[in-house]
Amino acid sequence: MTTSTGDAVRGALTGAIGSERVRDAEEGDTVGGVRPRWVASVATTEQAASAMSAAAEHGLRVVPRGSGSKIDWGAPPEAVDLVLDLSQAGGVLEHAAGDLVLHARAGTPLDEVRRVAADAGQQLSIDQPLPTATVGGVIATGTTGPGRHLYGAVRDLLIGITVVRPDGVVTISGGKVVKNVAGYDLGKLYTGSHGTLGVITEAIFRLHPVAEQHRWISVTLDEPAAAGEAVRVVRSSQAMPTAVELERAGTTGPITVCAQIEGRPGATHQRALELSEVLGSAVGVTGEVLDTAPEWWGEYPFDGDTGLRLGVEPSAVAALLTGAQQAAQRRGVTLRTRGSVGLGLVHAAIPEEVPPATVAELVGELRAAAAEHHGYGVVLRAPRAVLASVDPWGPIPAGVLTLMRRTKDQFDPEHRLSPGRFVGGIR
């Protein structure tokens, strides 16, 4: 390996994908406070492969980026030389409506996928509130939203994936049929891997038909215990809810539990009324049937704040909320919570202005509260000062961490892909 100069590197990138696709990085290209040197924008898998080959030759550390809506998620990378920008690598390549399958480039905005699918009365059942989010980013971060309850998570909907390896080689896993057990299912491994194993350039998803009518059944309660009971009643009913969400705007105060059901016109409304009645009598509060989702539905409760994802076994939602409430009260912090409680998942927000040391303590307590119920807490994103004092991922059991580390070593032996962004200090 010869020593690379900046000019040589830029020359290699330019040679690989054209000078119009390479530029010097700017302030806005910073990844978790780390400034890269260059940005390469690619439009296709082939270009991504060429850029990655050049990067490999010069030992560049690379962070892949879609629209950048979640580029600050995860831990800050230990170093970045090149941002590989996939936002130009968009486009739905195929929508096989009769097979309920859609193939898109990683840079395709999820909104575009939604539009294309909707034209055939279909949906990609991934709820993702950030308006510019792309297919690749959603896979890399494994985001979760309400529709997950029935239709499954990103991992369940992804049936095929194209990935450029750190050495520039293009590889695939899965395919374009839903039922397929040939080879390992690497799509699951790449989902949620935060750009540390390979550069996702294309994905194939299974779609679902859009129901003709949706209704939301909502109850508002005062205490976590009652909310937990409401969730249990909905989950164990035969009404087949397609989502079960919760919203609490403050540390204390009202908690709204809201279930979504869907189906054919008329019957769905009737089913909603019935569920509302069952629910209302179980928790002693009159339920409401809504024609549209509440405005908070599917939105993250955080923006510039510290945003967490807390997960527990589903029956422990009330205990988690109680623990969270107490921990926040002790510190006089306003905690907003919202999420897919039917599955035991809650997003929480700690306001931006809370001092980092307090945030760190609170995160520790939230993790402890979750851990009592087989749970965990991940800081999805946070102000930089907070990330300086909190491991966003939290502890990982030693045995599994060893396997994860070995996996990373196998996929990225030179540790050039998003080093340091992932769990347990894996680099």
Partner 1 sequence: MQPASTANQTEAETAPTDLEGLIGRFREALAPESVITDPQRLRTYECDGLASYRVVPAVVVLPENADQVGEIVAACAEYGIAFVARGSGTGLSAGALPRSDGVLIVTSRMRRILEVDVANERAVVEPGVINLDVTKAAAPHGYYFAPDPSSQQVCSVGGNVAENSGGAHCLKYGFTSNHVLALEVVTPDGDTVELGGRARDVPGYDLMGAFVGSEGTLGVVTKIVVRLLRAPESVQTLLAGFPSTDEAGGAVSKIIAEGITPAAIEMMDALSIEAAEQAVRCGYPEGAGAVLVVELDGPAPEVEHTFAEVQRHCRDHGAFEVRVAADDAERAMIWKGRKSAFAAVGRISPDYIVQDGVIPRTALPEVLTRISALSAESGVRVANVFHAGDGNLHPLVLFDGSEPGAVERAEEVSGSILDVCLAHGGSITGEHGVGADKVKYMGRMFTEQDLDTMQRVRCAFDPDNRCNPGKVFPTPRLCGEAPGQRRGVHPLTEAGLADQF
Give the footprint of partner 1 on residues 247-276 (CB under 8 A): 263-264, 267, 270-271
Helix (H, G, I), strand (E, B) or coil at 358: helix
| Contact flags string 297-336 toward partner 1, x per CB under 8 A | ------------x-xxxxx---------------------
Using CB under 8 A as the binding rule, whether residue 239 contacts partner 1 is answered as yes
Q: Minimum distance between the CB of residue 263 and partner 1, rounded to whole angstroms? A: 5
Region from 169-177, 244-252, 284-292, 297-305 binding partner 1, contact rule CB under 8 A = 169-177
Angle at 334 between CA 332 and CA 339, to 5 degrees: 140
Residues 6+ apart with CB under 8 A from 137: 65, 66, 67, 69, 70
Region from 63-71, 276-284, 295-303, 370-378 binding partner 1, contact rule CB under 8 A = 370-378
Tokens of 109: 């905005």
Helix (H, G, I), strand (E, B) or coil at 198: coil
Task: Phi first, then psi: give them for residue 178, nearest 5 degrees.
Answer: -65, -40
Cβ-in-10-Å burial (0-12, 13-18, 19+) of 231 comes to: buried
**How far is 411 from 19, CA to CA, in rounded Å?**
29
What residues between 170 and 229 interact with partner 1 by CB under 8 A? 170-173, 175-189, 191-193, 197, 208-211
What residues between 44 and 83 interact with partner 1 by CB under 8 A? 58-60, 79-81
Using CB under 8 A as the binding rule, whether residue 27 contacts partner 1 is answered as no
Helix (H, G, I), strand (E, B) or coil at 312: coil
Q: Minimum distance between the CB of residue 253 and partner 1, rounded to whole angstroms? A: 26
The residue among 109 and 263 lying less far from partner 1, judged by its C-beta, is 263
Size of the site for partner 1 (CB under 8 A): 109
The residue among 2 and 292 lying less far from partner 1, judged by its C-beta, is 2
Q: Minimum distance between the CB of residue 195 and partner 1, rounded to whole angstroms? A: 12
Residues 6+ apart with CB under 8 A from 2: none
What residues between 113 and 132 interact with partner 1 by CB under 8 A? 121
- In angstroms, the Cα distances linking 47 to 40, 42, 86, 426 are 10, 6, 10, 28
Among 205, 300, 302, 411, binds partner 1 (CB under 8 A): 411
Q: Minimum distance between the CB of residue 102 and partner 1, rounded to whole angstroms? A: 12
Among 222, 357, 409, 425, binds partner 1 (CB under 8 A): 409
The residue among 255 and 380 lying less far from partner 1, judged by its C-beta, is 380
Region from 44-52, 85-93, 237-245, 251-259 binding partner 1, contact rule CB under 8 A = 237-245
Helix (H, G, I), strand (E, B) or coil at 145: coil
Maximum pairwise Cα distance, the chain: 74
Beta strand ranges found along 128-198 (DSSP E) = 158-164, 170-174
Region from 2-10, 44-52, 129-137, 348-356 binding partner 1, contact rule CB under 8 A = 2-10
Using CB under 8 A as the binding rule, whether residue 28 contacts partner 1 is answered as no
56 C-beta neighbours (distance < 10 Å), count: 17
Tokens of 166: 């750190």
